[in-house]
Amino acid sequence: MEPGEPQEPQEPREPGPGAETAAAQVWEEAKIFYDNLAPKKKPKSPKPQNAVTIAVSSRALFRMDEEQRIYTEQGVEEYVRYQLEHENEPFSPGPAFPFVKALEAVNRRLRELYPDSEDVFDIVLMTNNHAQVGVRLINSINHYDLFIERFCMTGGNSPICYLKAYHTNLYLSADAEKVREAIDEGIAAATIFSPSRDVVVSQSQLRVAFDGDAVLFSDESERIVKAHGLDRFFEHEKAHENKPLAQGPLKGFLEALGRLQKKFYSKGLRLECPIRTYLVTARSAASSGARALKTLRSWGLETDEALFLAGAPKGPLLEKIRPHIFFDDQMFHVAGAQEMGTVAAHVPYGVAQTPRRTAPAKQAPSAQ
């Protein structure tokens, strides 16, 4: 063809055999790219009556030591002013933070298996903070990408009266007095403590460890030990081996965990279940362990592991388990767990508790 000579029109070519596949791949990559640019759609909040509701105080979820010092030493007005001035600074994670993250990891698995089910964990921030402080709490929750949609900010009043309205299955707080109020109202509750050192916990499996007596079970057996000694206790447990113990304050929470575990079991995922529970008790297996296990069986419940320590310290075993939280009614065991890096929570129930003073000294209420 000579230069400048008009070209003959060309017949359109048929696409090659791999062109359609390549185009589909480009389209899929573009879709993923733009999906990542779009804001993430958060799941819908479940109805409270359908969910397992975990209420946490702001000082349980976040570290607020400096803020609490200001509140105690300088009063509420200075406290609120400080919070407003720092509302764009996220709080550091507190002792309940890894537990809440593990709850959300379980929720993701549940929603994959049961997209339309509301039988999931629902986390409520329960605090007596002033509503003005809510902006900093919201900013902190968004900073860590937590899914907490329900808030209860009571402006200095106790939030305990709202727990039943939220259908609370478990209440965690850094305020021991508020926890005792919740226990008195028949709500599973515990005072949560930060560990003495940080320990890496599982990101994919929620691990919860329970003491037995005065936590899952009543304090019946502890009363016998206190009144008559260990020998009488062993005799009593043997004689009543087939009589279930009465329930303790956290029996309902173990029941809720068991219900969610069964949703994974029904899909053939028992060995891959993202919830694992432990009974960690000072009882001896041979002399008093059977009654504990038979009591759980009579309730239709079980724990994945049962550790009978016969009075040995619990801290070293908990260090191996690395639970997100460990519940015990005795501060001695809570302190031992803390020393080994375990987030421990005290359940103020039963005969082992220090009697309350009838006329407590007045002190400034904590900002939860």
Q: Which residues are catalytic?
A: 211
Alpha carbon distance 226, 42 (integer Å): 51
In the numeric block, which tokens belong to residue 238?
A: 């043997």
Rg (CA), the chain: 27
Residue type, 153: M
Alpha carbon distance 168, 173 (integer Å): 13
Distance linking the first and last C-alpha atoms of the chain = 87
DSSP conformation class of 81: H
Alpha carbon distance 124, 105 (integer Å): 16
Which residue matches tokens 């309205």?
A: 165
| Beta-carbon contacts of residue 269 (< 8 Å; ≥ 6 apart) | none
Helices (H), ranges, the chain: 19-37, 58-61, 65-74, 76-85, 97-113, 134-143, 176-184, 220-228, 230-239, 251-265, 290-298, 315-321, 331-339
Q: Per-residue DSSP letters for 18-68?
A: THHHHHHHHHHHHHHHHHHHSPPPPPPPPPGGGSEEEEE-HHHHEE-HHHH
Alpha carbon distance 68, 79 (integer Å): 8
CA 239 to chain centre: 37
